Structure 1
Amino acid sequence: MSAASVISVLDDDPYVREAINNLLRSRGYMVHTFASAEEFLSSSDSKRTSCIVADMHMPSKTGIDLLTQMRAQGSATPFILITGFPDETLHIRALEAGAICCLRKPFVPADLMKCLQWALAAADDVTE
């Protein structure tokens, strides 16, 4: 993990945002939380994030919508998508859109940390 790793957490559920925030901060990451994709996109933090952890089912713009939009704009920022509504078709769509991992809520913290390690390693490979 790079000391400069900034993780952006997007979820419309404040309890989920806080739980992920607490987990990642306890592991030494800098974390920014957002209640929506629009809030994230309008933030200056959107340009400085090392990885995005986003809910697949947010009002207005879903995590997959955000991932697709950012890829279309040339962003290679790694994505981890999470959902409380497991759907194999959606899971496949997320991976095809470029997500590193898709986790079902509630997930085991170790699974998120493993996905985050993969995501940051993939980001390091892109920048080298």
Structure 2
Amino acid sequence: MSVPPVISVLDDDPYVRAAINNLLESRGYTVHTFASADEFLRSTDSTDASCVIADVQMPFMTGIDLLTQMRAQGSATPFIFITAFPDESVRVRALKAGAVCFLGKPFAPTDMMQCLDRALAAGGETRG
């Protein structure tokens, strides 16, 4: 029996965190949720993540800043970005920083699952 991948969800909106958590748990993933990049970085769970799903716009540290910091520290954890303000220049910046996907809110659950499948394949993970 394999261990399901751990997905970390970062969004300052508790309803978005809950919706993504419910979607992913219903598909058999282990999910850890965080209200901010800082909360994620301070957590011992941050090193266990098979994939990070992060809001672009969060207080104090953006999702793209978090990705840049993690890459600078040697982390290759795949990132999926979500945003309520899907701007083309931000999308390009996110993808150049190394994001696997960039989804505008609201997004279809199938779109999230396709992005997650791609992210886990890029990170060498398989679904549990």
Structure 1 and Structure 2 fold alike (TM over 0.5): yes
1:67 aligns with 2:67: yes
Q: Of the two structures, which has the highest relative contact order with CA contacts closer than 8 Å and spacing of 6 or more?
A: 2
1:56 aligns with 2:56: yes
Aligned counterparts, 1:82-121, within 5 A: 82-121=82-121
Q: Deviations over 1:24-80 (max 9, x none)?
A: 000000000000000000000001010000000001001000000000111000000
Distance 2:53 2:120 in 1: 12
Which residue of 1 is the match for residue 13 of structure 2?
13
Distance 1:122 1:86 in 2: 23
Distance 2:31 2:60 in 1: 23
Give the partner amino acid of 2:81: L
Give the partner amino acid of 2:7: I
Distance 2:93 2:65 in 1: 11
1:44 aligns with 2:44: yes
Which residue of 2 is the match for residue 124 of structure 1?
124
SS at match of 2:86: coil
SS at match of 1:124: coil
Distance 1:121 1:23 in 2: 19
Distance 2:120 2:3 in 1: 12
Q: Is the 8 A contact 2:55 2:82 kept in 1?
A: yes
Unaligned runs of 5+ in 1: none
Which residue of 2 is the match for residue 30 of structure 1?
30
SS at match of 1:64: helix
CA displacement at 1:86 relative to structure 2: 1.3
Distance 2:117 2:86 in 1: 23
**What is the TM-score normalised by the length of structure 1?**
0.95
SS at match of 2:124: helix
Distance 2:3 2:118 in 1: 16
CA displacement at 1:4 relative to structure 2: 3.1
